Structure 1
C-alpha cells in the first residue's frame, strides 16, 4: 500500500529525545507540526474569529495612514498575490504595539484581549522551541531574547474561479522560524521536499501548530537547518485564514552561526550580516526563496 509523504509531527509533551527530534526535523524538512504545544484550542478558535473580523473591515480602515514597506500594517491584494491580503503587528512584543494596532483599526476590548493573549502565547512557544533547539544542538544559553516578532493575520479570498491557482507564491521566510496556525478547515499549504524536490501537501490537523524554518535559521545553524520553500494553493472555493508569528533577527547584532557549530569539518558558510539589510536585499534582488543568501557566502 502506498504511504503518503508528510512532514514530521512532534508531540511537545513527549519529552523523550524531544530536542533531538526538533533538530532532526529542522535538518531534514525545515518544517514540522506540533501537537500538545500548550496554546488552548479555545484561544486558537477565538483568534481565528478575530482575524477574520479584522480582515473583513473596509480597506480604508485596514490601510489607514501607514506607509508601505517593512512594518506596514496592511498588505493588499497585488500582482504577486491577487487573492491574498494580510494585517500585521510589527515587533508586537514592543511596548504598546498591540494597543497601537487596536487603536488604528478601532478594535473592541474583546479583540484586544484575544490579540494580547494569543500573541503572548505564540511568543512563549517560540522561545520554548528556541531553547529546545539550542539544547538539541548541544548549546547553552537563551536565543530569541529581545528579538523582534511580527504577528501576521492572513486571508485568502478564494472563489470558484480561483480553484487551482496560487494564493501565495513559492517562497522561504526570511527570519529564523515561523509559528503558524493554519486553517483547520481549508487546506492549501505545500512545501518542497529538499531531497526529492517534490511538492508535499501539509494537511491540516485541528489544534496543531506548524513550524517553518527560514533563511536566518539556515545561516545561524551553519547550513544544518533547511530554509523550507513553500507556497499556498487554492484547493476549494472557501476563504482561508491563517495566523503566523515570524521570529526575525536580533536587534543591533549581526546574524552568524555560533562558534560551537563551526569547526574544520564544518567551516563557516556565511559571513555575519544584518538581518534588516538582508531582508531589504531579498526584495531588491527578487529572491523570494532565499537566493540572496549566496551573496553572503564565506570564502573558505
Structure 2
C-alpha cells in the first residue's frame, strides 16, 4: 500500500521571460542542473508552470468528462490497433481505467487536416469531443474556432517538451551536440479512473515505467498518482493545481546510460471521486536507435544497455515481454550481460 505521508519530489519553476529561460545564461545552467538532478535522483519532478490558467484546465477536464460519459459503443468507434492509441476500455489488469490516445499530435499538417475534416461535419461525433478537449487546453477564449487553435496547443506542449530536452542536453555539457539527439513525436492521452465500487484502496493503473523518452502529465486534483522510491517504497504525490509532472522513461534512462532514473509509477484509487488526467508522451520516431551517449559512459558509469531499435523494443513489450515486470523489460531486451 502507498504511504499516506507526503513525498516531496523537486518542484522546479519555469518562469517565462526570465534569465533562467534564456539559454546560455548562468541562471539557465543552474536550472538545467536542477532538472538533471531531479531526473537522476527521483525520476520525476514537478514543473511549476502558470502559462496555462487553472480555469482553462478545469474546462478541459469538464469536456473530458463529457467525452468519457458517451455510450460505450460510441467510444469504441475510436478503436485503434496501435499501442496506446485510440480508445482503451477497462481490462482485467486495469478495471477502473479508460483512455483515449491521440496519435501524431506533433504532426501539425496531419492534425490540421484531421480537425478540418472533423469540423466539416454538422452532427455530433466522438472525434469532435476529442478535439474540443484538446482545444480547450490552450484556447484563451475557451471556444475552439478552427484547427489553428489545436495546432497552437500542440506547439505549446512540444515547446515544453523541447525545453526539457535542451535542459537535459545542456546539463550534461552536450550543448554542441545536435538538438535533435532525442527526436520524438507527441502522443496525447486523456485518461479516466472510475472510483472503485468498494470505495477502498484499489489499483487504477498497474505499476509500470514509461517506455518513451519522457511524459508530461497533470490531473484534476483527485489524488491517485504514486511513485516508487529507489528504496522500493510506494508514496503518493501531491501536486500543485498549476503544475505538471515530468516522468523519465526507459528510453531517456538508456540514452543517459542509466544516470537518469526511469521511475516506476502507478495510480491507486479510493473514495467516491473519479479521476481524470492528461498525458503527453514523447515517443521516439519510427526507426529511432536508442543508445547511450559516449560522453556519459565512463568508469563510474560503465555501459549497461546495448543499442536498440525503439520500434522493435515496443513490439517486444507487447509479445514475449508481457510476462516481465515493466521496469525490467528494457534490461531483458537490451541488457549487457557481464
Normalised by the length of structure 2, the TM-score is 0.80
Higher mean C-alpha displacement, 11-20 vs 81-90: 11-20
Matched, 1:191 2:227: yes
Matched, 1:11 2:13: yes
Over 3 Å counting, the alpha-carbon distance change for 1:240 and 1:281 in structure 2 is same
Which of the residues 156, 173, 187 maps onto 2:193? 156
Displacement after TM superposition at 1:65 (Å): 5.9
Greater Rg over alpha carbons, structure: 2
Separation in 2, partners of 1:113, 1:4: 33
Q: Describe how 1:119-268 pairs up with structure 2 within 5 A.
A: 119-140=154-175, 141-143=178-180, 146-184=183-221, 186-194=222-230, 196-268=231-303
Separation in 2, partners of 1:106, 1:178: 23
Separation in 2, partners of 1:209, 1:152: 15
Separation in 2, partners of 1:39, 1:187: 21
Displacement after TM superposition at 1:63 (Å): 1.6
Higher mean C-alpha displacement, 170-179 vs 3-12: 3-12
User: Runs in 1 of length 4+ with deviation above 6 angstroms?
Assistant: none
Over 3 Å counting, the alpha-carbon distance change for 1:249 and 1:191 in structure 2 is same
Displacement after TM superposition at 1:78 (Å): 0.5
Over 3 Å counting, the alpha-carbon distance change for 1:99 and 1:243 in structure 2 is farther
Q: Is the 8 A contact 2:217 2:246 kept in 1?
A: yes
> What stretches of structure 1 of length at least 5 have no aligned partner?
none
Separation in 2, partners of 1:99, 1:154: 25
Q: RMSD of aligned C-alpha atoms?
A: 2.4
Over 3 Å counting, the alpha-carbon distance change for 1:144 and 1:60 in structure 2 is farther
Displacement after TM superposition at 1:240 (Å): 0.4
Separation in 1, partners of 2:127, 2:326: 36
Q: Is the 8 A contact 2:287 2:310 kept in 1?
A: no
Post-superposition Cα deviations, 1:72-119, rounded to whole Å, max 9, x if no partner, equal 300000101101000011121123247637836241675463362443
Q: Is the 8 A contact 2:61 2:133 kept in 1?
A: no
Post-superposition Cα deviations, 1:232-279, rounded to whole Å, max 9, x if no partner, equal 011321110000001111332311122221234433221111112112
Separation in 1, partners of 2:258, 2:325: 18
Which residue of structure 1 lines up, in the alignment, with residue 23 of structure 2?
Answer: none
Over 3 Å counting, the alpha-carbon distance change for 1:204 and 1:236 in structure 2 is farther
Matched, 1:100 2:122: no
Over 3 Å counting, the alpha-carbon distance change for 1:255 and 1:188 in structure 2 is same
Displacement after TM superposition at 1:59 (Å): 1.9
Displacement after TM superposition at 1:43 (Å): 3.3
Matched, 1:64 2:77: yes
Matched, 1:47 2:60: yes
